[in-house]
Amino acid sequence: MYADFVKNLDTGILVENTVEDWYSALMQLINDPDLRRRIGLAARQDVLKRYPPSHFENDWANQIKHVLEQSGQEPTLRHKTESHAETIQTAQQGPSDKPKSVIKSLTKKSLADWKFSLNTQLFNLVMMFKINIRKKL
């Protein structure tokens, strides 16, 4: 099914769908680290050439913005140098603007929100533990 996209031993390994062929291909990759690296690099270059991230990043950012608007969610943590409005404004920029900053910005915000949420949950667990210990004393 990948024969139209994969060049055998260049961007991947094509095999018949048999246990023996799969085993042989896997053993070849296990035993030949240079082949693994070469295929990995070539496959990555091929995917980036066929599907450049710059063509999709603004679409992703707009989809994320749409989901946030529909769900009514707001980030729970603000960066000192970047507000939610700035993130959305960056997401609305055209394709000629810096699209990598859109994804990077949204990723930073998501990680910060997740970290804040995790820290809050850990704090709550510790406090509940302390309260329960005091009740038992």
User: What would the mean pLDDT of 18-25 be, rounded to a whole number?
Assistant: 93
Extents of the domains making up the chain: 54-136
Q: Taking a C-beta distance cutoff of 8 angstroms, is the pair 58, 99 a contact?
A: yes
Q: How far apart are the first and last CA of the chain?
A: 66
pLDDT at residue 79 in the model: 42
Give the tens place of pLDDT for each residue, 33-55.
999 999 999 999 998 898 887 77
Cβ neighbours of residue 124 under 8 Å, at least 6 residues apart?
A: none
Task: Report in angstroms the alpha-carbon separations of 123 from 88, 110, 128.
Answer: 30, 20, 9
Positive or negative CA dihedral for 109, 67, 54, 1?
positive
Q: Taking a C-beta distance cutoff of 8 angstroms, is the pair 35, 9 a contact?
A: yes
